[in-house]
Structure 1
Amino acid sequence: MKKLPKHRASDISDTGIHLRVFSADGIQHTPVDYAHQDDYYMFGFIESGECDIHIDFNSYRLTAHCAALVLPGQVHSFVQATGLNAYILMIDSAFIEENSKRSFEQYTLGTQTVELSPEQQTELTSLFTILAGKLAQTSKHPQTLALHLSLAIIDIIGEAITSKQTAHSLPQRYVEHTITFRNLLKQHVEHSHSPSYYARMMNISLMYLNEAVKGTTGFSVSQNIQYEIVTRAKRSLIYTSKSVKEIAQELGFEDYAYFTRLFSKTAGISPTDFRKNHK
């Protein structure tokens, strides 16, 4: 049975900020190639080359001049790279403003990557280079500067994300309702799989909730619920020795056969075969 490591900000840095630099010549850091979770945010910038990563069982190819975002709690791993020159900023969530957190959460409902303009690429290259130098110093003053540099990097990536969101603008109330629904779903999915349950908790009609969620994510409330169930089931199938029946019960299914059908339909493979394929 595999174990799912959980990395904490306090384990990687005393300041809540850590930078990894990857170069095509193999010098400096090597990627973390095993699946794991973090309790901090990760912001990646691909200067040149490309790499493949997995985030919550979805595959992404990152190419030159793009940025990537990984939220706390997402299961992710590095797969492979070609000619990779890149930076990854790891930063404690305490440093991220609430408005930015909501924006990042909204964006990652659809994707984890964003294309950067030439100006943004130049700015990020300069900031990451300076940040690497400041973090190599030990005095308190450079560490304070490192925080400001890190926040500037996050602002630039946030700017790129905001421009993408504006290009596909939705009513702000749709976005707010979707984020609220997703947060409630994470808290209550083991107790209820009913779309109307979440609509009642939010004091809005199911029709309106479905309109908001589908408009924001491209998927209905029911599909979002199924995705959350299957994602959690996949984690348990890989990283625990619990039986499929036990996993079904933990996720609120009394009917084990129904859970198996739902998983198979959503994932395109049975729970048993999924586990075998990931041993």
Structure 2
Amino acid sequence: MKKLPKHRASDISDTGIHLRVFSADGIQHTPVDYAHQDDYYMFGFIESGECDIHIDFNSYRLTAHCAALVLPGQVHSFVQATGLNAYILMIDSAFIEENSKRPFEQYTLGTQTVELSPEQQTELTSLFTILAGKLAQTSKHPQTLALHLSLAIIDIIGEAITSKQTAHSLPQRYVEHTITFRNLLKQHVEHSHSPSYYARMMNISLMYLNEAVKGTTGFSVSQNIQYEIVTRAKRSLIYTSKSVKEIAQELGFEDYAYFTRLFSKTAGISPTDFRKNHK
């Protein structure tokens, strides 16, 4: 049976930290151009040039002086690049403190790119350059320094994300509730599609949860649930050979016809036609 490739942190490095450097003069690393998932975080910094990537069926153009992030579990692939000079830091999620992860969960509520200030750009260029040198060394001490450098890079990108959110004056409690809801949704969507189920788990009213989620994402709780269901279904339709009925059952639908209607309404195309279009 066809399966979606999954990359593990242990596959890329014994230390859980790996850096890829892309140069317009001669790319030092070949981009991964097939769709796959990772169990680690990816932090990108575009010094110059641009590139196109796909993340969970959405296309994004990354341009100079911006940062980008791919969370563990997101399906992504590299499409193309023009004059690209960039760094991509891959790091095991175990190295990142839970508090530090929160801005990155918040990041997925908006666009997939983060504009950087000139100061942040300069800091990242310096840190990535030093990190590349440390990772090229084999002794244990430079590897310890590499972790500290990696965490400094992550903090700068997190700071940029937080600044962007603050500029939009979004109530922090809305963001917190939305992040909690989305994390619960990822864990439980196969077991419950009911908005009230998630409100009860969070000990808040459904009305307030809807207010927070819609204020943050622009979509209601129900719409977010439907989007998560359809995104998972799309992954299975493209990257596995499971039948539509099997996919529906895995996503918690006893009524196969209802799943098909929901998918068609949300995606604008039937599951069968979606699979045909992506062969």
For the residue of structure 2 that corresponds to 1:150, the secondary structure is helix
Deviation at residue 97 of structure 1 after TM alignment: 1.6
Between 1:48-57 and 1:265-274, the stretch displaced more is: 265-274
Distance 1:153 1:195 in 2: 37
Deviation at residue 3 of structure 1 after TM alignment: 2.7
Deviation at residue 131 of structure 1 after TM alignment: 0.9
Deviation at residue 2 of structure 1 after TM alignment: 4.5
For the residue of structure 1 that corresponds to 2:27, the secondary structure is coil
Deviation at residue 171 of structure 1 after TM alignment: 2.6
Distance 1:268 1:2 in 2: 25
For the residue of structure 2 that corresponds to 1:32, the secondary structure is coil
Between 1:242-251 and 1:39-48, the stretch displaced more is: 242-251
TM-score by length of 1: 0.96
Distance 1:2 1:46 in 2: 33
Provide Cα deviations, 1:44-96, integer angstroms capped at 9, x if missing partner. Answer: 00111100001111111000110001111111110111111110000111111
Superposition map of 1:96-115 within 5 A: 96-115=96-115
CA contact (8 A) 1:66 1:114 kept: yes
Deviation at residue 172 of structure 1 after TM alignment: 2.5
Between 1:89-98 and 1:182-191, the stretch displaced more is: 182-191
Alignment root-mean-square deviation, CA: 1.3
Between 1:109-118 and 1:63-72, the stretch displaced more is: 109-118
Superposition map of 1:54-73 within 5 A: 54-73=54-73
Provide Cα deviations, 1:125-181, integer angstroms capped at 9, x if missing partner. Answer: 111111111111111111111111111111111111111011123332222221221
Deviation at residue 18 of structure 1 after TM alignment: 0.4
| Stretches of structure 2 lacking an aligned partner (at least 5 in a row) | none
Provide Cα deviations, 1:5-26, integer angstroms capped at 9, x if missing partner. Answer: 1111111111111000011133
Distance 2:263 2:110 in 1: 21
Deviation at residue 236 of structure 1 after TM alignment: 0.8
For the residue of structure 2 that corresponds to 1:204, the secondary structure is coil
Provide Cα deviations, 1:172-216, integer angstroms capped at 9, x if missing partner. Answer: 222222122112211221222111121122221110010011112
For the residue of structure 1 that corresponds to 2:74, the secondary structure is coil
Provide Cα deviations, 1:104-145, integer angstroms capped at 9, x if missing partner. Answer: 101112222101111111111111111111111111111111
Provide the identity percentage. Answer: 100
* Other-structure match for 1:272: 272
Distance 2:139 2:247 in 1: 49
* Other-structure match for 1:183: 183
CA contact (8 A) 1:46 1:65 kept: yes
Superposition map of 1:30-179 within 5 A: 30-179=30-179
Provide Cα deviations, 1:221-248, integer angstroms capped at 9, x if missing partner. Answer: 0110000000110011012211112211
Distance 1:200 1:147 in 2: 39
For the residue of structure 2 that corresponds to 1:31, the secondary structure is coil
Cα distance, 1:26–1:273 mapped onto 2, change above 3 Å: farther
Distance 1:139 1:191 in 2: 48
Distance 1:203 1:42 in 2: 33
Between 1:221-230 and 1:153-162, the stretch displaced more is: 153-162
CA contact (8 A) 1:4 1:37 kept: yes
